[in-house]
Structure 1
């Protein structure tokens, strides 16, 4: 934290924390520094790995947001002082970004966003998926099952805290039943080219309506299997979060517009499955923050409430899937 305190003092910026990064907002720019953590699915434990993933983050995010990502900058230490954007004695790396005005973020526009915004966003993402690289190897049932099994293993410790015993096993059993019944559907989608190198984290906080155009930023760079996959799995993260926030109408407009632009005939059955998965991932990540030594108890209480709400939403989608398709 010594470096972070220095950066805050040097830049006069403010700090935002995630489970994996320190984000310093300093005037018109943002510096994003990866925490030296290893969650298994995410490994930033060495300086070389953090440099590699900083570079990858810039390259990947410029696909959907070319105006924001300025590059990767080194941070050196000389004696008791740190030097920003200096290569003399590098101790850390940061992704340097243009600051996006808060009022331009979708999360802060929900009360005034119009259907036209959601339709344009759906078209933007559908077009991105059509031109994104095919990654058929990430579409196998075994890959998706590895992801969901990992989620269940990693959240066992939170049973009785952020997720109930009943909901945990109901969601797990529903997911397993889905694989048993619809593995052929998932295999067919590989052949149809529906597995793409996508974004992996299309959330309300990661969408901005800028003067230059729609910007979808902060994609997943740390693990290809979370970023690459079925296009419906990629697009539905946003509609899940819209429903989490209570904006069901906007979610429907977004989903129906994506369906229209993509002509994807499998959305009815795959949306509840993948939305359940996405809500569960969010519940897991919020639960991880309960173990973060850098957060106060008050902050952890907020994350606990959010985790419980995400897990409840995951169970709702799983119940919808079971009632309609299993």
Structure 2
């Protein structure tokens, strides 16, 4: 509801656009044919206070500054609502300023990604584009100081515990959830501090879910970054990503969330974020739980509470390596298995081809010249692959390593990366004629291998194999699931 003191402003904006407002608890958006106007409500809600005109102006300008670089053309300017000589209000007149609005371009309702998800429109290509957008945004954000990330997150935990209780969620479950998450935070304190020292804490979007991503001018853009609380938005990039992953997991499915996680890590190399994912995902789920409870959506709220509790019960980590010649379908198999292995949102897939492209500063689908396949370059790729696998599994997450693994030393090294966790090695095989056809037909893939590369690899001796051999001439997924004990997508 628009506060009575802003009734005149609301009437002017409705007259300018010919539309009733789209309201949240803190804003009203009026969407016209040429312009959308965002009015901040003059409300005080405990965690924010927009009652002062100067504060509304300041935060609208902050919102413009935060969002305009990542959605150019969508965010236009901040304009005044002024008292006209006849006594009414007008837009950007010379009179006394009564209120302020953010001017934006109108966006078709179907172009917001929550709407795209609701119509099952999140294709693999669009999910990759979402991950690329978030990775690109995080990459350009400057590092921010946060002396004690665990303490900062503990304060977030406490605020959400109180909000959940106030919203009427079951007190016993909320207190148990808070105690479990608090213990996990204490165990993660040194890891979170290390990530902060490494520059992983930045002034992030802060509210990065599907509803705050849209299609704009042919690409995915984030918008509506959290502007009213710098502390809430000065967070680990992994926690920023976690809201999107939780939203995808809960509303679309684990496979979608897993794909975005893996594409994001492929672009930036931050495999270490998986260590804190259970805590981050759980916090994001509880935020949604108490928001839905406060709206009177009890069933939805309890669904998010279930999810928040589930995230804090991750299964043990494990490492799977998938090897074989080019064209055997290693990457397809890894992608099919990953969502259903390990902690949410599934196993981290570490693909040597993607690591090679990242080391060269390229997107996975861009081709590399031959010098990037020299022995020393390949050794660097394999060293990073094993290090990232060890980091993920050592932090409690499952991982799948995807590479040719033709040399015995490589197979031994990746097995050692599992540490004390379970390790499974799969070796995919298929007739050479089948592999030639597959490699020749590949388009838009991270692998640059052609038929000549395949022929050369086939001529080399792979040495003794102690991995499980899987026939990949047809579909290897059922056999791989059986030997790994993976049930997907439905329970066994």
- Provide the TM-score with structure 1 as the length reference: 0.88
Aligned partner (choices 178, 193, 208) of residue 199 of structure 2: 193
Counterpart Cα distance in 1 of 2:276 and 2:101: 37
What does 1:1-326 align with in structure 2 at a 5 Å threshold? 1=2, 2-3=7-8, 4-78=10-84, 80-110=87-117, 111-137=120-146, 140-158=149-167, 161=168, 163-287=169-293, 290=294, 300-301=295-296, 303-320=297-314
| Shift of residue 314, structure 1, vs aligned partner | 1.7
Please identify the structure whose Cα radius of gyration is greater. Answer: 2
Structure 1 gap segments, 5+ residues each = 291-299
Counterpart Cα distance in 2 of 1:40 and 1:15: 24
Counterpart Cα distance in 2 of 1:138 and 1:283: 29
Asked which structure has the greater RCO (Cα within 8 Å, sep 6+), the reply is 1
Secondary structure of 1:112's partner?
A: coil
- Pair 1:284–1:225, CA change in 2 (3 A): farther
Please, what is the CA RMSD of the aligned residues?
Answer: 2.2
Counterpart Cα distance in 2 of 1:286 and 1:92: 30
Residues 11-50 of structure 1 show CA distances to partners (whole Å, capped at 9, x for unaligned) of 2013111111111112232111111122333221210000
Structure 2 gap segments, 5+ residues each = 318-342, 344-395, 397-492
Residues 263-292 of structure 1 show CA distances to partners (whole Å, capped at 9, x for unaligned) of 1122332222111111122233344xx4xx
- Provide the TM-score with structure 2 as the length reference: 0.59
Residues 215-267 of structure 1 show CA distances to partners (whole Å, capped at 9, x for unaligned) of 11000010011211100101121111112213221111001111211211223
Counterpart Cα distance in 2 of 1:139 and 1:201: 21
Counterpart Cα distance in 2 of 1:173 and 1:39: 26
Do the aligned partners of 2:147 and 2:193 also contact (CA within 8 Å) in 1? no
Do the aligned partners of 1:207 and 1:214 also contact (CA within 8 Å) in 2? yes
Counterpart Cα distance in 2 of 1:186 and 1:176: 14
| Shift of residue 63, structure 1, vs aligned partner | 2.6
Residues 164-214 of structure 1 show CA distances to partners (whole Å, capped at 9, x for unaligned) of 123201220111101221111111101111101111111111111223422
Do the aligned partners of 2:188 and 2:276 also contact (CA within 8 Å) in 1? no
- Pair 1:318–1:86, CA change in 2 (3 A): farther
Structure richer in helix, relative to its length: 1
Between 181-190 and 277-286, report the one with greater CA deviation. Answer: 277-286
| Shift of residue 313, structure 1, vs aligned partner | 2.1
Deviant stretches of 4+, over 6 Å: 321-324
**Between Structure 1 and Structure 2, how many residues are aligned?**
310
